[in-house]
Amino acid sequence: MKNIKNIIWANLVLVALLISSCSDSSDRIQESQIDASTPILSDLDIWLRSNFVSPYNIEISYLWGASNTDIARFLYPVREDNVQRWSETIKRAWIDPYNELGGKDFIAKITPRQIVYSGGFNFNPNSPTITLGIAEAGTRITFFNLDFLDYSDENSIRRPLQTLHHEYAHILNQKFPFTDDFGLITPADYTAQWFNLSAQNALDMGFITPYASSQEGEDFVEIIATMLTNSRVNFEAIIDNASPSGQAIIREKLGIVLAYFQENFGIDLYELQELSYQALLDSLD
């Protein structure tokens, strides 16, 4: 009997200790020192929320975060005074033209959810090239070398805008893949050594840029990106500079790209070209 009483007493003590422990844990959670308050927003943050987050659910990430870039590269954050100017430029030359022709919610429905800004150049190891931008799984686009833009120079602004249109075209392709016919036009000419081609060599082979010769997916989006950052007259002049066989190949590819936009989005790519290129010019000083 005495043993039973001792066991009962021991169990009661154990229960009391457990209750005390739970109570202490609850109290500790309630007294947490973690700051869960809303952060104070700068005028720039408020502007970005009004122009990108609220209407399009796009986050512009300009503050440094190691998870946003390759830590093996020498990269650094963009200067804050360059953030709004570039953001205004991409809204004018990318978002507004697509929404005007594809519908006011076009970008809101098909868009990267995060755009990351980096100030410096992203040099590629073991290659004489730099990476101007990256599109990741259709959810993020990263821009590099934004601290070196010259808004008095059309070519300086054209290059990153061409990167934007290039990467966004990849996102469109993820939503609506292009037909296999495109890759069958020059299947044997794609090469990992694309950077050894001159612009003229690429044109003569039927590629709008040297990078277009790297693979069929890049070939497709380079046509789009080159169109949307040049006037129609200048774009036609680029094609006309190719050899006769190169011209024929590029125009065959162009026909597939034009049909892709019309059939999947109801957009005339030439109209989009006019709006986008004019916006590029309007962004200059």
pLDDT higher than threshold 70 for residue 89:
yes
Flag whether 148 is in a domain: yes
d(CA 191, CA 206): 13
Tokens of 282: 């309007």
Flag whether 69 is in a domain: yes
Q: Is 179 helix (H, G, I), strand (E, B) or coil?
A: coil
Flag whether 196 is in a domain: yes
What percentage of the chain carries pLDDT values higher than 90? 69
Q: Is 131 helix (H, G, I), strand (E, B) or coil?
A: strand
Are 93 and 136 contacting, i.e. CB atoms less than 8 angstroms apart? no
Q: Which amino acid is at 4?
A: I
pLDDT higher than threshold 80 for residue 83:
yes
- Residue 132's CATH number: 3.40.390.70
pLDDT higher than threshold 50 for residue 13:
no
d(CA 117, CA 134): 11
Query: Helices 269-282 & 154-175, crossing angle to 10 degrees?
Result: 140
Q: What's the half-sphere exposure (Cβ side, CA atoms, 13 Å) at 168? A: 25
Flag whether 269 is in a domain: yes
d(CA 149, CA 151): 6
Flag whether 138 is in a domain: yes
Sheet holding 140-143, edge to edge: 59-61, 114-117, 140-143, 133-136
pLDDT higher than threshold 80 for residue 254:
yes
Domain span including residue 250: 43-282
How remote is the C-alpha of 17 from its chain's centroid?
A: 56
Model pTM score: 0.81
Q: How much is the pLDDT for 212?
A: 98
Q: Which residue has the tokens 């890049």?
A: 218
Residues 6+ apart with CB under 8 A from 85: 151
Q: Is 14 helix (H, G, I), strand (E, B) or coil?
A: helix
How remote is the C-alpha of 90 from its chain's centroid?
A: 11
Q: How much is the pLDDT for 59?
A: 95
Flag whether 33 is in a domain: no
Tokens of 19: 């209750």
The model's pLDDT over 97-123, given as tens digits with 9 standing for 90+, comes to 999 999 999 999 999 999 999 877 666
Q: Are strands 59-61 and 133-136 parallel, antiparallel or unpaired?
A: unpaired
Are 134 and 68 contacting, i.e. CB atoms less than 8 angstroms apart? no
The model's pLDDT over 53-78, given as tens digits with 9 standing for 90+, comes to 999 999 999 986 655 555 545 566 88
Flag whether 273 is in a domain: yes
Helix, strand, coil content of the chain in percent (nearest 5)? 60, 5, 30
Average pLDDT, the chain: 85
Tokens of 233: 């007259």
Q: Which amino acid is at 76?
A: Y
The model's pLDDT over 138-164, given as tens digits with 9 standing for 90+, comes to 688 988 889 989 999 999 999 999 989
pLDDT band at 95 (very low <50, low <70, confident <90, very high): very high
How many independent structural domains does the chain possess? 1
Flag whether 143 is in a domain: yes
More confidently predicted of 22 and 253:
253
